[in-house]
Amino acid sequence: MRIDILTVLPELLESPLSHSILKRAADSGIAGIYVHNIRDYSTDKHRRVDDYAFSGDAGMVMKIEPVDSAIESLKKERKYDEIIYMSPDGERFNQKMANSLSTMENIIILCGHYKGIDQRVRDHLVTREISLGDYVLTGGELAAAVVADCIVRLIPGAISDETSALTDSFQDNLLAPPVYTRPAIYRGWKVPPVLLSGNEKKINEWKLEQSIERTRKLRPELLDRHHDDSG
């Protein structure tokens, strides 16, 4: 998989992309993540990528020309499955979406900044808009890093135990069950006996019961989706 991220502040992405699973996936050739500075595509002598809004509203707006040039430059080299714009009013990102995106070959993620981006970019250049939640960040860089992390860790080989990602919270619209490790007793606090029993059937039943109970308590709205998916 290849992910190209377009941004006006590439330095914001240096740390998230240079450590842990994302770095290992890049080093092993499983997923390549490339950051492009939109300013490099500006024809302005000062490399400006923003301008005042025609409406006279406060705040600057990202211009269409450098964004279009950046996208066109990348599209000349390869075909992209999705051109994603990170936006607070996009569709809410979730695990199901991450699963789908992880099966794609090439993705562009466009990071907004300032007051927003020229609407023509959204109307004619991007294929999908994604939001992390009902709040506004300074720019789309942190959101893009989150999406990239969620996608890449699902690609086979990205993490050492591939079954681990399949048992994460939200994979089946349930929260993950509690997990424990040694020691079995600490300050009188005991690990549930079933987890020490070695009985795989009972352990799996316990995990499902705990997942359902935890979801009912913390995220009850997910249970309807779980029941719909499980028939």
Domains and CATH numbers, the chain: 2-152 (3.40.1280.10), 167-230 (1.10.1270.20)
C-alpha 201: how far from chain center: 34
pLDDT band at residue 74 using 50, 70 and 90 as cut-offs: very high
Q: Which pair of tokens denotes residue 68?
A: 């279009």
Convert the pLDDT of each residue in 123-162 to its tens digit: 999 999 999 999 999 999 999 999 999 999 999 999 866 5
Q: Which pair of tokens denotes residue 113?
A: 């900044």
pLDDT beyond 90 at 40: yes
Q: Which pair of tokens denotes residue 66?
A: 């450098």
Dihedral angle computed from the Cα positions of residues 37, 103, 1 and 35, in that order, rounded to the nearest 10 degrees: 10
- Closest Cα partner for 34 from 8, 58, 2, 57? 2
Q: Is 178 left (phi over 0), alpha (psi -120 to 50) or beta?
A: beta
Strand partners, 3: 33, 107
219 burial type by CB count under 10 A (0-12 exposed, 13-18 middle, 19+ buried): middle
pLDDT beyond 70 at 230: no
Return the pLDDT at 59.
Answer: 86
3-state secondary structure of 107: strand
Q: Which pair of tokens denotes residue 231?
A: 């028939």
On average, the pLDDT of the chain sits at 92
Angle at 100 (CA atoms; ends 74, 225), nearest 5 degrees: 145
Convert the pLDDT of each residue in 106-128 to its tens digit: 999 999 998 899 999 999 999 99
Q: Which pair of tokens denotes residue 64?
A: 């269409």
Helix (H) / strand (E) element for 163: namely helix 162-166
Cβ count near 165 (within 10 Å): 20
Q: Pairing mode, if any, of strands 106-111 and 2-7? A: parallel
- Closest Cα partner for 109 from 52, 153, 151, 61? 151
Q: Which pair of tokens denotes residue 89?
A: 């009013």
Return the pLDDT at 12.
Answer: 95
Cβ count near 24 (within 10 Å): 16
3-state secondary structure of 136: coil
- Range name among 22-36, 103-117, 154-168, 185-199 with the lowest pLDDT average: 154-168
